[in-house]
Structure 1
Amino acid sequence: MNKKLGILVAVVLSVGLLGNAYAHKSQVIDNYKFEVGWDKEPPIAGKSNNVVVMVSKASGTDKKMTKEGNVKKSTLDADATKQGTKKYKKSTQSMNAKIKPIGVTGLADTLEVDITLNGQKTFLNLAEDKKKPGTYYGEYYPQKEGYPIVHLYGEIDKKEYEITFHPEKIVSSVR
């Protein structure tokens, strides 16, 4: 009975992780965490959307996960199978800890973002969200479905950064 309960807990936690694993992608470089995703998910061809860029001070956990090669859900699933749900629970709790990031403000004029979709490059104008420090929006109107490439580059504290992201696929419609 306890084994069945353990398996049920692991399945419920896995489903919970899928809900929390939204399509935003992040990278930690030096002391900063850069995150890119869509304002409305999934992005739909022919409908206006925003690329969301979040820049924050990287926490110690962010830096540690980067050095360890970013713990992936599949690794946690394997650990849960081998060592039971207790370790799985602890790992997912540390990943989902409610650490409020310190947003880096004032970058709307120094960061540049372009999106390449099906070979066509579009440059975005960023606007900072006044209520969410370190969060920037760039309006984008995808014409067709496909796999976008978001290229972010600019300067923070006199150091240049250049990062490429592969956010969620733009679809032709929601099924």
Structure 2
Amino acid sequence: MQHVKFLIISLLCIPLISTAYAHTVDSAGDYRLEIGWINEPAVSGETNGIELYISKLDPTKEFDEQEFDMKKGIADLRKDFRMELVYKEEKIFLNVLQDHDVPGKYFGLVNPTIDGYYQVNIIGKIGDTTVSKSMHPPKVENREQIDFPVRQNEKILSQHETIQSELDTIKSRLNSIEENNSIQNYDLGIVGIMTGIIGIAIASAAIIKNRR
């Protein structure tokens, strides 16, 4: 019976260990900073958020040995710092909220629409310590790789994008015909355009059928 209890406890602890390892840890002065996604693994197109844990470092322990300790959490800093989320050239300041049940825990909600690597800039002050840190949460995974079956709306959107691309091609051909007025070019151009129009008509019919 004792072995069974130990096995159950061990299995329950696995998600907690995985979450801890998925977070990124750094320091600023005498403070420990830890960030990660609220829901991990993070997936593009799903509401998520960045969570930040701030606690006092223990001078008697090595940095790598320390974990977040609620008893050493630094509360009431929400107005003292900002969290900026960066993806390539895009930037946004998150609305920082405080978890009143966990001293030292802060979070900002966001919907990462694109998969890839994001950066979190923590800017402000913790007590008398000025903070300007860039930290990197785990990669946001591509939703399309785990969605099954593919939602109908996404199929239709993809078909619309294909049709738009075909229309752009036809427009380009028409402009080319206007610039080259030879009869041969005109006839060949018209044949190509008619083929494209037929293709678009077939694709449009398929979209209408899917909607039904």
Residues 98 and 109 of structure 1: is their aligned pair in 2 closer, same or farther, counting only changes over 3 Å? closer
For residues 15-34 of structure 1, the C-alpha deviation after alignment (integer angstroms, 9 at most, x for no partner) is x7973653111112221001
Distance 1:98 1:113 in 2: 19
1:111: which partner in 2?
81
Provide TM-score, normalisation by structure 2: 0.56
Distance 1:23 1:61 in 2: 25
Q: Which amino acid aligns with 2:50?
A: V
Q: Which amino acid aligns with 1:136?
A: Y
For residues 129-164 of structure 1, the C-alpha deviation after alignment (integer angstroms, 9 at most, x for no partner) is 010001001011111101001110111223311111
SS of the aligned residue for 1:54 comes to strand
1:51-90 to 2 correspondences below 5 Å: 51-60=50-59, 64-65=62-63, 70=64
SS of the aligned residue for 1:60 comes to coil
8 Å Cα contact 2:24/2:137 also seen in 1? yes
Residue 124 (structure 2) pairs with residue 154 (structure 1): yes
Distance 1:101 1:27 in 2: 19
Structure (1 or 2) with the greater helix fraction: 2
Distance 1:52 1:28 in 2: 16
SS of the aligned residue for 1:22 comes to helix
In structure 2, the gaps of 5 or more residues are: 1-13, 147-212
SS of the aligned residue for 1:19 comes to helix
Residues 119 and 164 of structure 1: is their aligned pair in 2 closer, same or farther, counting only changes over 3 Å? same
8 Å Cα contact 2:58/2:66 also seen in 1? no
1:116-127 to 2 correspondences below 5 Å: 116-127=86-97
8 Å Cα contact 1:27/1:33 also seen in 2? yes
Residues 50 and 20 of structure 1: is their aligned pair in 2 closer, same or farther, counting only changes over 3 Å? closer
Residues 100 and 60 of structure 1: is their aligned pair in 2 closer, same or farther, counting only changes over 3 Å? farther
For residues 86-134 of structure 1, the C-alpha deviation after alignment (integer angstroms, 9 at most, x for no partner) is xxxxxxxxx4889655110111111100111132111101100010001
Structure (1 or 2) with the greater strand fraction: 1
1:1-175 to 2 correspondences below 5 Å: 19=18, 21-60=20-59, 64-65=62-63, 70=64, 95=65, 101-173=71-143, 175=146
Q: Which amino acid aligns with 2:72?
A: I
Higher Cα Rg, which structure: 2
Structure with higher RCO (Cα < 8 A, 6+ apart): 1
Distance 1:157 1:37 in 2: 23
Provide the aligned length of Structure 1 versus Structure 2.
132
1:9: which partner in 2?
none
Residues 56 and 169 of structure 1: is their aligned pair in 2 closer, same or farther, counting only changes over 3 Å? same
- Which ranges of 4 or more aligned residues in structure 1 deviate by more than 6 Å? none
RMSD: 2.6
